[in-house]
Amino acid sequence: MSNVLILKNIDHEGPGTIEDYLLNKKIPYTIVNLKTQLCPDSADYDTLVIMGGPMSVHDAKIYPYLTDEIDIINEFIKDDKRILGICLGAQLIARALSTDVYKGKGKEIGWYNLEVTDDGKKDEKFSTLINPDKKTLTVFHWHGETFDIPKGAVRLASTELFPNQGFKYGEKVYAFQFHIEVTPEIINTWMKDEPIDHNELHEETNRLFPPYIIRANNFYSRFFV
């Protein structure tokens, strides 16, 4: 059975539905808030999950623990262990693989469809997230930076504004620019002070989340094994 290490970069960006799944399946896990806690020894874990945050991978002078995260990512890659990076977590994986991370052409905030690549459609884990049309997947976004696809990795999905929405490196490393982990409660917390139509967002979340969580759990059931 997995023993999962979950790294948080900021208090309010936690594992959400990932933690719900681990609890339901009785999979052991440890959540470490890097603002107040040190990275533990990677040898005690076989799976690493890195959450998001508003900072950039280039902000290590302000947030020194970002360097620690890159180090532990490299340790997990060297030891052929599972890694899942979400948003900033994906950017840290890209950085660990010597790939550029930089500002995108704009921001994506809200629910958007991704176009799935042929590699994404073929991937037995990632393909579980795809919509019934077998071409797209609907996910929640909140990001303004992006990354190049690392050497040796494959692109899984894209949007017009952010062509590199996710990649797979080897057989065990997945990096998602989008937020697979969100719950309606997390979305409401994040967006409460944003100048948007909150009624529209609430209706959209109520409509899109129920079918999405089924697909997210299908992904978790294949990733955490």
Element (H, E) at 47: strand 47-50
Q: What's the confidence (pLDDT) of residue 1?
A: 60
pLDDT of residue 112: 94
Mean pLDDT along residues 199-220 = 97
Condensed to tens digits (0 to 9), the pLDDT of residues 165-186 reads: 999 999 999 999 999 999 999 9
Report CA Rg, the chain. 16
| Beta-sheet pairing, 173-176 with 166-169 | antiparallel
- 67 Cβ contact list (under 8 Å, min separation 6): 60
Q: What is the pLDDT of residues 116-152, one digit of tens each?
A: 999 999 999 999 999 999 999 999 999 999 999 999 9
pLDDT tens readout for residues 15-24: 999 999 999 9
Q: What pLDDT band is residue 2 in, cutting at 50, 70 and 90?
A: confident
- Model pLDDT for residues 56-97, shown as the tens digit of each residue: 999 999 999 999 999 999 999 999 999 999 999 999 999 999
Is a pLDDT exceeding 90 seen at residue 156? yes
Give the containing element (helix H, strand E) for 212.
helix 198-223
CATH number of 4-223: 3.40.50.880
Sign of CA dihedral 84, 37, 1, 219: negative
**Quick one: pLDDT at residue 172?**
98
**Taking all residues of the chain, what is their mean pLDDT, rounded to a whole number?**
96
- Residue 15: count other Cβ atoms within 10 Å of its Cβ: 21
Both tokens of residue 114?
């991704």
- Residue-wise pLDDT tens digits, 26-37: 999 999 999 999
